[in-house]
Every structure is written in C-alpha cells, then in structure tokens.
Chain A
Amino acid sequence: MLQASNVSYTHGARRRAHPGLKPRATAPPAPRSAVAQDSAAAPRSAVAQGFSPVCSPGVHDVSVTIERGGIVGILGPNGSGKTTLLRLAGGLLTPAAGRVTLDGTDLTAMPRRALAARIAMVPQETHLAFDYSVLEVALMGRYPHLGPFELEGPRDLAIAREALGATGTAGLEERRFSTLSGGEKQRVVIASALAQQADILLLDEPTASLDLGYQLEVGELLGRLNRERGLTVVVATHDLNFAASLCHSLVLLREGRVLAAGRTGATLTADTVLALYGVTARVRFDDQAGRVTVLPIERARHA
C-alpha cells in the first residue's frame, strides 16, 4: 500500500521552514495546537518511490504538525492508522514516502540513541519476558544515555527514582513488575519513559486496559507532566472523553487519512464522531466537567 506521510514536530516560529506543510489558511494558529491536513502539498514524486509491506493498515498522504509543548490526541476507529502514525512519529517506522522531522531534522538521519534522548514511547501494554524489579524497569530508560559497557551511576539512579516519584510509584521500587496491577504497570512504564529524559512522549492507548479510576489517574499524570515539565504528549486513544479531558488538540484519522484536525473543542463534534465511527452521539460542553463530553447514542444506519 502506498503511503506518504509527513509528521513534523516543530516550534511555532519554525513552521514556515517546512514547505511540505501548509499552515492552515486561518490566522496564525495559537500555540499548543496541532495542525494536520490531507496534504495535497506532499511531494507526489515521493509517493511513487515506496512500497512498504509492514504498514498495511497504513496511512496515506497524512501531514501532521505537532506543536511542541502541547497534548495531541490521535483518534480514529480500529485500523484507521493511529498506531502506524504513532510509530512513524516515534521513528520506529520509516515512511515509504514523505518525511518525519523533528525541528526540521529527518528522524531517519538521527542515530537511534540520539532519537531516544528526544522521543520516548509507551506501548499499549507491557508484558516483560523476564521478571525485573520496578526500579530495573525504570532504569531501562537510561539506555540512550549510557555507553555500551557503562553501568548506571548514582545520577542515573536518582533520575530513575525521580521518575518513579513523579508517577506515584516510588514506593513500589523493590517490587517485581509482574506483581503490579495494570494501572501500576502503566505508570511504571511511563516512569521508565520519563527516565529517558525525552521532551516528547508518545503513548499508544494508555488507558485501554485500565479501569475508570486508573484512566483518570493516567490522564491527570499526563496533564501534570505537560504543565510542569513542558513535555509534548501525543496519545493515540479510543476513549473520546479521555481525549476531550486531556488533549489540547486532536488529529482524527479515518482509513489512513486525516479527516479533521485542530483544537479539541472545535474538532470533536457530533458530526466528526458520526463521520469517524458511524455513531450518532451527543457532544456538548459539560459545565461540571468543564469540558466537552461525548455520549454515544446509537450506531447510525448509513455511516
């Protein structure tokens, strides 16, 4: 399947340095917004070059700009390309055509370690093949900062412990990872990503296996990390209310293409929910929650 994908992480000021990425036609976007569109401007010649069998759920002609310092949600039905887009954005996949750039530098031009010092990724679920302690899992985040034969020093230990503290798991340090609950595991894996000291955090459905309490807890944690550390957060999620409560802006994907993108309040509407999922829903601002809420009603007959 052909694909052309442009993902770029950028500061607002540098936006115009990317000729392939047209800013939206409206006024200069507010900071903390992601701008994405079906990129008619993606170089067509590049489209012809690639064939990438690994990306069969693929994304096509997707052009996404992720503003630094924001929280961006990627929404879409199963198979719409959310995970593919996230893996592209993390440099784990090379686009068959197009570029993924970080402040203008192509990710493919960056060595793995250098990339890991900038972008950290939290997979949907983590099953360890062997039973490490919580502290050992957190220390794994130090990998890109150590030489091949170097052992972790006191500084690495301090950073790992600080990351565990930030995710509220400092008390679990000596526990075996396998003995933790789903929510604890997720927070420890986030701590491990924090110990990487990257400024961009990508999460694939961070709440998928968590109960309501843990879902709110993870959302609260990500919001706090973003506010306090200026961490750029990108989450792929199925949970519309989670996205509404957390994300500053959204990218809506359908069949590997960008359906809509922009600030959360403007992007998440009854129309877009219908177009994305084929579900009629009541989307309205809830005064008590202080945010947009989505109440799914029924599957539409003709989506």
Chain B
Amino acid sequence: MRSVRRRLAGWMLVFGLVALAAVAGAPLVGSTHISLARAFDSTVPFADNVDAQILFIARLPRVLAGVIVGASLAAAGVVLQALLRNPLATPFTLGVSAGAALGAVLAISLRLQLSMWGVSAVTLASFVGSVGAVAIVYALARARHQGFSTNVLLLAGVTLNSFFSALILFVQYLADPSETLHTLRWLMGDLGIASYTPMLAALPLAVVAGAAFAWLPRALNLLSLDTDAAASRGVNVVRVQQVAFFSSSLATGAAVSLGGPIGFVGIIVPHIIRLIVGADHRIVLPVSALAGAAFLVACDVVARTAMAPIELPVGIITALVGGPFFLWLLLRHR
C-alpha cells in the first residue's frame, strides 16, 4: 500500500483539478450566453457592460457561495459521521439546520428588516437559530453524563429536528400566504444570493471550522474503533468529540445561513469519496471538501440551466441526485 502522504497528494491533485474546472467553467454557463472577451473589455464601463454584470453580479457570487457551502457541508458530513460512528448521519442530523430554518422562517414571516454589516435579517436569524439548536443539543448531551454521550446527541438532534419542523409549519400556517413562497424557496436550499457580503461574513466561520477540521482526522480514525479503544490509544476522546461537534456545527451553520438547508451534499459526497479513496479520514476529509465544492457548483449549473430561464433551487437538484443514491447506499449496507 502506498504511503498516506502520496495517496493524499494524489487525490488532492485529482479533486483539486475537478473543483478548479467546476469553478472556472460554471460562470460561463447559463441561460444567457456571455463572452469573456467582452466581460473583461476594459474600454466598456461596467455600468454598460452587460456581460461583465452577468458574470460578476449574477453568476460568480453563486459559484463562490457554492464552493463555500459545498465544501463546508461535505466536510461537516464526514466529521459528524465519524463522531456519531454512523454512516447515515448528515450535517443536518443534529438539528443545526432545523434551528437555522426556524430562525430564517421567523425572520421572513415577521419581515424583520434589521441587518448588520450588510448581512440580511434572514441570514442573521438563521445563524442565530443554528447557534440556539447547537446549544440545546450540547447541553442535553452533557447533562446526564460525565463525558459526552453521542447517543443522547443523536436522539436530541433527531427530536429537535422534528420539533423545530413543527414550529416552522406552525409559523408558516399563521403567516401571510404571500411569504410562503419565499419561505419555501429558502427551505429548499438556494444559492441565489444577491451579493458578496454574506459570503464575506460566512467565510471566516468556515475557515475557523476548517482549521479545527485539520486537527481531527487521525483521532476520527481512532474513534471508528470505539471510544474506549481510542482512549487507550492515547486519544483525548471527550476533547475530540467536543471539537468535532462544535466545528461541524459551525461549518453547517455558516453554510445554511448562505444557502439554506441544501440536502444530500453532506451525505453523498463523503460516501462517494470513501468508496474511491478508502476510509482514512486524513484523506477523506480534505478530498470530500474539494469534491463537495465541485459537486454543489455543478448541481447549481444544472439548477440554473435545466429549465432556463426558470432558476430551480439547487436543493431540488441535489435531492433528485441524492435521493436515489441514498437508497442505493442503504440497500447496499444491509
């Protein structure tokens, strides 16, 4: 078997090129054909340059948001699956996205207008909601145990998910029907954000989570044995579980505040990557981040062009691809 170093370098190169191709190609594809030559023609002022406007205002932010959201969700999925020792876990299993969704739905329904540093009320509210959900789930997981119970974590997350979903339905039922479409679109997961500002706000959070992820993979490998075995190999289990929980929640919260709860990226990408590169988290984690970015950017291209000029929410595309895949995976595991 080749050394970890060489396998890591090889797969990073392959998926780095795939991600680069997706990022470079995606802005050129869309319902309107644009010419790069014209977009970068400096003799035409930006206000009159339609090609440049489409490129820089309509498409590039979506692509960059796709990179941040796709990479964050895929990496968070890897970490949570390892933390819960459950291949069926997703970044949304522990209720982070349900909390975010409740925040966003409240902000939309109450027509909150406040914004900070150019970040909209919906984005802010969704992030606050995800922080709230994380706090509740963590408090429950710590409450009954000396250490950190991943079983309680899982149960609390699943329960919180359905509880928040019920609250969302309740709020929507009472809300002005004209807002329902807006809410629905958010809940489907959509990268159609208008500007760079929310991205700049989410990026540092994703970077902090990424730095924490870099510390985790070796310990996550050991957690696959079991917690006692990991501890006897020298892993500080509770510390690792805490870092894994908070960093994956942070990445998920940042991603959801940008694009809504875009499903399936966080589960299919890690599984495809495991099938290709093996189980070692030192390779799976970074490669999944690259693949998640490429996958979501590609899905967004399909979402923008499949029924052009209608732009579908990207969450529909990832779910249409991911649903059948998920079932196949489930059958294959039994």
- Judge if A146 is at the interface, Cβ distance under 8 Å: yes
* Residues of chain A in range 136-153 having any CB-CB distance to chain B below 8 Å: 136-137, 140-141, 143-144, 146, 148-149, 151-152
Complex interface: chain B residues within 8 A of A130 (CB): 81-82, 87, 224, 274, 279
Contact with B along A92-135 (1 / 0, CB 8 A): 10000000000000000000110111011111001111111101
Most B CB contacts (10 A, CB to CB) among A112, A115, A116, A149 go to: A112
- Give Cα distance in the complex from A87 to B82, angstroms: 23
| With known contacts A130-B274, A152-B4, A119–B226 Cβ distance under 8 A | no
Min Cβ gap B319→A in Å is 25
Complex interface: chain B residues within 8 A of A211 (CB): none
Contact with B along A71-109 (1 / 0, CB 8 A): 000000000000000010011100000000000000000
* Residues of chain A in range 226-245 having any CB-CB distance to chain B below 8 Å: none
Complex interface: chain A residues within 8 A of B86 (CB): 129
- Indicate if the CB atoms of B233 and A116 lie closer than 8 Å: yes
Q: How many residues of A contact B (CB 8 A)?
A: 45
- Judge if A220 is at the interface, Cβ distance under 8 Å: no
Complex interface: chain B residues within 8 A of A119 (CB): 232
Complex interface: chain B residues within 8 A of A87 (CB): 228
Min Cβ gap B213→A in Å is 12
Most B CB contacts (10 A, CB to CB) among A121, A140, A157 go to: A140
Complex interface: chain A residues within 8 A of B214 (CB): 149
- Judge if B225 is at the interface, Cβ distance under 8 Å: yes
- Indicate if the CB atoms of A148 and B225 lie closer than 8 Å: no
| With known contacts A126-B229, A151-B4, A143–B87 Cβ distance under 8 A | no
- Indicate if the CB atoms of A140 and B225 lie closer than 8 Å: yes
| With known contacts A129-B87, A136-B280, A143-B235, A121–B228 Cβ distance under 8 A | yes
- Indicate if the CB atoms of A123 and B274 lie closer than 8 Å: no
- Indicate if the CB atoms of A112 and B235 lie closer than 8 Å: yes
- Give Cα distance in the complex from A123 to B228, angstroms: 7
| With known contacts A116-B232, A121-B228, A143–B1 Cβ distance under 8 A | no
- Indicate if the CB atoms of A121 and B226 lie closer than 8 Å: no
Min Cβ gap A96→B in Å is 11
- Judge if B218 is at the interface, Cβ distance under 8 Å: yes
Complex interface: chain B residues within 8 A of A149 (CB): 214-215
- Indicate if the CB atoms of B224 and A117 lie closer than 8 Å: no
- Indicate if the CB atoms of A112 and B1 lie closer than 8 Å: no
- Judge if A54 is at the interface, Cβ distance under 8 Å: yes
- Judge if B234 is at the interface, Cβ distance under 8 Å: yes
**Which A positions have Cβ atoms within 8 angstroms of B?**
52-54, 87, 90-92, 112-113, 115-117, 119-123, 126-133, 135-137, 140-141, 143-144, 146, 148-149, 151-152, 157, 173-174, 189, 192-193, 196, 202
**Which B positions have Cβ atoms within 8 angstroms of A?**
1, 3-5, 81-82, 85-87, 145-146, 214-215, 218, 221-226, 228-229, 231-236, 274, 278-280, 282
Query: Can you give 21 A-B contacts (C-beta < 8 A)?
Result: A53-B146, A90-B232, A112-B234, A112-B235, A116-B234, A117-B234, A126-B229, A129-B82, A130-B82, A132-B221, A135-B1, A144-B233, A144-B234, A148-B215, A148-B218, A149-B215, A151-B5, A152-B3, A174-B1, A189-B229, A193-B232
